């Protein structure tokens, strides 16, 4: 059952594959903003995936985060999500990411509960 307060933490280590230089979001060998967003979104999605109605999933619709500090190769990244609002099918999460030295990103992420079959059917008609 979905209820506010649901939390999830996901972790990864900064490797070359998740640097700005490799993902194409910049020219430095530092943790890429798109990689941070992916990890944050994964935490939010995973936190509720087993709690939505059978035949449903959630899709990301809004990501509003600040990337406030760079992280070097080898740093351990921890992304956290907390479900703070449920408005019908709309789910709102407070999200944050940390490295070994502290906060590196924070913001809000929204997801919508969708019927998987219906969603994919609409997509196929595009």
Instruction: Name the band, by pLDDT with cuts 50, 70 and 90, for residue 77.
Output: very high
Beta-carbon contacts of 88 under 8 Å, excluding residues fewer than 6 positions away, are none
CATH tag, 7-124: 3.10.129.10
Is it the case that residue 39 has pLDDT exceeding 90?
yes
Q: Give the pLDDT of residue 126.
A: 87
Question: What are the domain boundaries of the chain?
Answer: 7-124
Q: Which residues contact 111 (CB under 8 A, 6 or more apart)?
A: 44, 45, 48, 58, 59, 60, 61, 90, 91, 93
Average pLDDT of every residue of the chain: 97
Confidence of residue 37 (pLDDT cuts 50, 70, 90): very high
pLDDT at 14: 98
CA–CA dist 14, 106 (Å, integer)? 18
| Residue 97 burial (10 A CB sphere; 0-12, 13-18, 19+) | buried
pTM of the model: 0.95
């Amino acid at each position: 059952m979905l209820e506010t307060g649901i939390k999830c933490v996901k972790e990864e280590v900064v490797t070359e594959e998740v640097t700005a230089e490799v993902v194409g979001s910049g020219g430095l060998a530092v943790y890429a903003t798109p990689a941070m967003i992916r990890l944050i979104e994964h935490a939010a999605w995973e936190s509720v995936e087993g709690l939505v109605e059978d035949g449903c999933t959630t899709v990301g619709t809004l990501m509003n985060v600040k990337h406030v500090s760079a992280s070097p190769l080898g740093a351990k990244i921890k992304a956290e999500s907390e479900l703070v609002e449920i408005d019908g099918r709309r789910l709102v999460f407070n999200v944050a990411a940390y490295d070994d030295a502290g906060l590196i990103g924070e913001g809000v992420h929204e997801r919508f509960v969708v019927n998987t079959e219906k969603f994919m059917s609409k997509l196929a008609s595009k």
